[in-house]
């Protein structure tokens, strides 16, 4: 799926580059800003029994084809099965840069596909964990692992698309591939879902966002 998406990206980007009708428009640095919320997390939090998450996004034009991006949010997750029972919550922030793939077709054109990188970090609080080890021969063992707080860091590759539906109203989606810088923190009792990252029991995770955004500022 990812491979096919990259191929589609490449094919259409190449097609767009060869179209000589495109205009070169230079944007003013930090002239236009967008803020938004991830609607997919709002829906997923209501559907999933295992986690709740809220994500916000901000970006600003840096160069004609570069956008500085920041996302932040918080969430909590629950592990509740016959063997384990614990809660965790975290806050996170991602900082990075996106490169747009298409040329602007007219002054103020904001519809574009992009690829980008992110550095993410978060503070994770895991509550006390109750465990049960079942043993029919010698009897079950129950116990508790004390709570923990730690920092986590990760890197992301992302790609997606943002388009302007109405003046200054944008929708955008992206996919993300993420990998922990400090995976050892999650070797024991990882949160079921880490807001900003996803499944934290995997060293490499994939995620997506679907943003609703509002833009303001001066566009060229």
The residues that bridge with 33 in the sheet, in sequence order, are: 60, 216
Contact residue for other proteins among 23, 107, 151, 163 (CB under 8 A): 163
Closest CA to 209 of 49, 2, 92, 40: 40
Residue (of 22, 96, 13) closest to 62 by Cα position: 96
Place of tokens 């879902």: 193
Place of tokens 């990075």: 96
Total binding residues toward other proteins, as defined by CB under 8 A: 41
46 binds other proteins (CB under 8 A): no
Number of helical (H) and strand (E) elements in the chain, helices listed first: 2, 10
Closer CB to other proteins, residue 39 or residue 84? Answer: 84
Query: Any contact of residue 12 with other proteins (CB under 8 A)?
Result: yes
Q: Should residue 190 be labelled a site residue for other proteins when binding is judged by CB under 8 A? A: yes
Q: Can you tell me the distance from the alpha carbon of 98 to that of 90, in angstroms, rounded to the nearest whole number?
A: 25
HSE value, Cβ hemisphere, 13 Å, CA-based, for 160 = 22
112 makes contact with other proteins (CB under 8 A): yes
Residue 105 or 147 with smaller CB distance to other proteins: 105
Least separation in angstroms between CB 55 and other proteins: 17
Q: Which residue has the tokens 């944008």?
A: 170
- How far is the first Cα of the chain from the last one, in angstroms, to the nearest whole number? 36
Is residue 64 a contact point for other proteins (CB under 8 A)?
A: no
Residue 147 in contact with other proteins, rule: CB under 8 A: no
Of 20, 46, 47, 187, the residue at the interface with other proteins (CB under 8 A) is: 187
Binder to other proteins among 18, 47, 49, 138 (CB under 8 A)? 138
Q: Which of 10, 134, 214, 216 contacts other proteins by CB under 8 A?
A: 134
Using rule CB under 8 A, residue 133 touches other proteins: yes
- Examine residue 83 and tell whether it contacts other proteins (CB under 8 A): yes
| CB-based contact 36:210 (threshold 8 Å) | no
Residue whose token pair is 């179209």: 19
Contact residues: other proteins, CB under 8 A: 1, 4-5, 8-9, 12, 15-16, 79, 81-84, 102, 105, 109, 111-113, 131-135, 137-139, 141, 143, 161, 163-164, 173, 175, 187-190, 192, 201, 208
């Amino acid at each position: 799926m990812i491979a096919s998406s990259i191929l589609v990206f490449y094919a259409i980007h190449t097609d767009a580059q060869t179209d000589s009708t495109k205009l070169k428009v230079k944007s003013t640095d930090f002239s236009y800003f967008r803020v938004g919320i991830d609607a997919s997390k709002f829906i997923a939090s209501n559907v999933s029994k295992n986690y709740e998450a809220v994500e916000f996004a901000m970006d600003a034009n840096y160069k004609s084809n570069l956008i500085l991006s920041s996302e932040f949010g918080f969430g909590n997750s629950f592990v509740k099965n016959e063997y384990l029972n614990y809660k965790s919550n975290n806050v996170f922030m991602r900082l990075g840069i996106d490169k747009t793939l298409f040329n602007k077709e007219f002054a103020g054109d904001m519809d574009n596909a992009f690829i980008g990188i992110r550095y993410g970090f978060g503070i994770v609080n895991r509550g006390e964990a109750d465990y049960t080890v079942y043993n029919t021969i010698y009897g079950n063992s129950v116990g508790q692992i004390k709570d923990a707080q730690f920092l986590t860091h990760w890197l992301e590759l992302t790609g997606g698309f943002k388009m302007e539906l109405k003046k200054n109203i944008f929708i955008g989606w992206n996919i993300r591939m993420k990998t922990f810088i400090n995976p050892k923190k999650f070797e024991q009792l990882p949160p079921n879902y880490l807001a900003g990252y996803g499944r934290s029991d995997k060293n490499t995770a994939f995620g997506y966002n679907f943003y609703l955004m509002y833009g303001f500022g001066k566009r060229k």
